[in-house]
């Protein structure tokens, strides 16, 4: 490893505290604040601390403490969810944020450990003017590579938790379009590389800093050009008419039987009267408390809102019963359910259904139920029966209507949209993705973070995304990740618009997260090359 660089006295004396505080500050680069330059400065500070680390344990500790601060601040909205669950104490939400952060921080801890160990095993850096430079590019490159790998593991292991990938800080910049090439996890690696370039610049290695920054500018330019030339403007006479409904129904009244008529009235009035042109009408996740395949009166109720060629896309449950015999008497009991999206037409027919595949642990099902239920824990979504996972991404056909051609719709219900590379049936690509969601229990930070991740999926796949939520933020996102229109948080309303067209297939849509793996290997190769070129 290079010689220990001089650090400010406070940082040198308290590197662990500094790492924790840097992690806390780094969260301001996430939505809703999106102050991404601060995140880059915090990552630069982490690299500086890691450069000075003298052991494996300390290298891991620095990344872990950084992660604790980063996740605790960025995921503060999770505590808000517990205020709607009276089966558990509300204060437990804050403990849940801390416990989750302690676990998630293991992944950046592993990233710093792997990068530190890898840099230690490389040949020493070549001398510049007869002296060994205090700042090396190899450590930053290796950290970028290891961050890609460990962030992918975070999104995969134990069903995964992919919320707030580091690369999401690039959304306000043109570098976000590089997701068409390397995906979200690749963007996270580029964030570390950018911090490494800043680290080199602060160490007065301007030439090396520019050499590291140039590929970032190139990736941004290529991604932007790809997006610009593969997404064509729609022909207005053939673009489907859509209406996105946001009823502003809070979590405290959403499941109240006494509020059922009022809630339905909001959805109905915001859906509007039938028009000569056929419309696609989008309602939120779990919008209605009905089992549509078993309750024809509810289907008729919905169909009465639709014009002849209209289609209603609404969230609702699909339930299953089983026969159970107790004391010689057999009865049907609820055994399981799917969190589903239904397609309803004006003749009260159910034209299709999508079942949510990636469920929220502790939200929609309780892991280790037999162990945790006696301890007083329960799932956050009301009900005692766990949801079952569906088969995964698929495209649902939507028949043509007046002024509307036949379409294919991808569906990702709520949480599912955060999983890069798993939102589209690539063998049957859709024209758009519908992301019905319930963000009513996500506090103030959760909804804009959820929308930001939906925007990244639009960029990666070059497919528009429609979001309808009970309380916001509902939005229409085009195939370049731009917000065409949106409804503010805690506001009732609707969006009338024409559906934007999809773009051509991106590199990421063809190879998926293998693109991020390729970038990871390229960063490792560059790190090795910087150390082997010593003469």
**Active site (annotated) includes residue 318:** no
Phi-psi region of 403 (alpha: psi -120 to 50; beta: other; left: phi over 0): left
In the DSSP assignment, the letter for residue 535 is -
Calculate the CA 430 to chain-centre distance. Answer: 19
The CA-atom distances, in angstroms, between 378 and each of 86, 336, 374, 439 are: 10, 16, 9, 19
Q: Which residues pair with 340 in a beta bridge?
A: 316, 355
**Active site (annotated) includes residue 322:** no
**Active site (annotated) includes residue 285:** yes
- How far apart are alpha carbons 175 and 186 in whole angstroms? 11
Residue corresponding to tokens 């290529």: 222
Cβ atoms of 390 and 355 within 8 Å: the answer is: yes
Angle, helices 514-532 vs 137-154, to 10°: value is 160
Catalytic residue among 151, 356, 364, 460: 356
- How far apart are alpha carbons 181 and 203 in whole angstroms? 31
Residue corresponding to tokens 């506001």: 491
Cβ atoms of 358 and 419 within 8 Å: the answer is: yes
Q: What share of the chain is helix, strand, coil (3-state, %, to 5)?
A: 45, 15, 35
Catalytic residue among 151, 317, 414, 416: 414
Q: Which three-class secondary structure string do you get for 261-280?
A: HHHHHHHHHHHCCCCCCCEE
Catalytic residue among 285, 364, 460, 461: 285
Question: Catalytic residue numbers?
Answer: 285, 356, 414
């Amino acid at each position: 490893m290079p010689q220990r660089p001089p650090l400010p006295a406070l940082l040198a004396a308290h590197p662990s505290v500094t790492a924790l505080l840097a992690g806390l500050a780094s969260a301001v680069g996430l939505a809703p604040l999106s102050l991404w330059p601060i995140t880059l400065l915090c990552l630069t500070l982490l690299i500086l601390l890691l450069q000075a680390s003298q052991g494996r344990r300390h290298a891991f500790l620095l990344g872990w403490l950084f992660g604790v601060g980063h996740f605790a601040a960025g995921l503060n909205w999770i505590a808000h969810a517990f205020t709607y669950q009276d089966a558990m104490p509300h204060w437990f939400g804050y403990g849940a944020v801390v416990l989750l952060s302690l676990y998630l921080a293991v992944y950046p801890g592993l990233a710093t450990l792997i990068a530190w160990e890898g840099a230690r095993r490389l040949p020493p850096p070549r001398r510049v003017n007869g002296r060994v430079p205090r700042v090396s590019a190899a450590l930053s490159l290796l950290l970028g590579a290891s961050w890609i790998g460990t962030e992918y593991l975070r999104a995969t292991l134990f069903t995964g938790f992919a919320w707030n990938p580091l690369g999401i800080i690039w959304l306000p910049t043109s570098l976000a379009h590089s997701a068409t090439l390397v995906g979200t996890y690749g963007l996270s690696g580029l964030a570390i590389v950018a911090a490494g370039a800043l680290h080199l610049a602060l160490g007065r290695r301007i030439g090396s800093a520019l050499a590291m920054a140039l590929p970032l500018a190139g990736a941004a330019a290529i991604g932007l050009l790809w997006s610009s030339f593969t997404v064509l403007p729609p022909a207005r006479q053939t673009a489907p008419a859509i209406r996105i409904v946001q009823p502003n129904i809070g979590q405290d009244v959403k499941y109240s039987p006494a509020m059922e008529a009022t809630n339905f009235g909001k959805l109905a009035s915001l859906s509007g009267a039938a028009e000569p042109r056929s419309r696609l009408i989008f309602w939120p996740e779990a919008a209605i408390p009905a089992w549509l395949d078993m309750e024809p009166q509810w289907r008729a109720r919905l169909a009465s809102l639709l014009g002849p060629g209209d289609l209603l896309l609404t969230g609702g449950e699909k339930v299953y019963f089983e026969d159970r015999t107790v004391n010689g008497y057999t009865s049907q009991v609820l055994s399981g359910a799917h969190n589903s999206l239904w397609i309803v037409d004006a003749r009260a027919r159910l034209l299709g259904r999508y079942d949510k595949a990636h469920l929220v642990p502790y939200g929609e099902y309780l892991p280790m139920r037999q162990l945790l239920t006696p301890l007083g824990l329960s799932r956050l979504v009301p009900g005692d029966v766990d949801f079952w996972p569906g088969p995964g991404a698929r495209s649902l056909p939507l028949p043509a209507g007046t002024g509307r051609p036949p379409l294919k719709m991808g569906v990702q219900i709520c949480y599912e949209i955060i999983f890069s590379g798993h939102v589209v049936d690539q063998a049957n690509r859709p024209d758009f993705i519908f992301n019905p969601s319930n963000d009513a229990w996500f506090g103030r930070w959760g909804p804009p973070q959820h929308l930001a991740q939906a925007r990244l999926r639009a960029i990666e796949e070059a497919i528009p995304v429609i979001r309808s939520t009970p309380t916001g933020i509902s939005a229409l996102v085009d195939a370049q990740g731009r917000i065409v229109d949106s409804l503010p948080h805690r506001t009732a309303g609707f969006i009338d618009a024409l559906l934007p067209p999809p773009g051509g297939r991106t590199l990421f849509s063809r190879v998926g997260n293998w693109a991020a793996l390729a970038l990871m290997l390229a960063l490792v190769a560059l790190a090795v090359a910087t150390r082997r070129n010593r003469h």
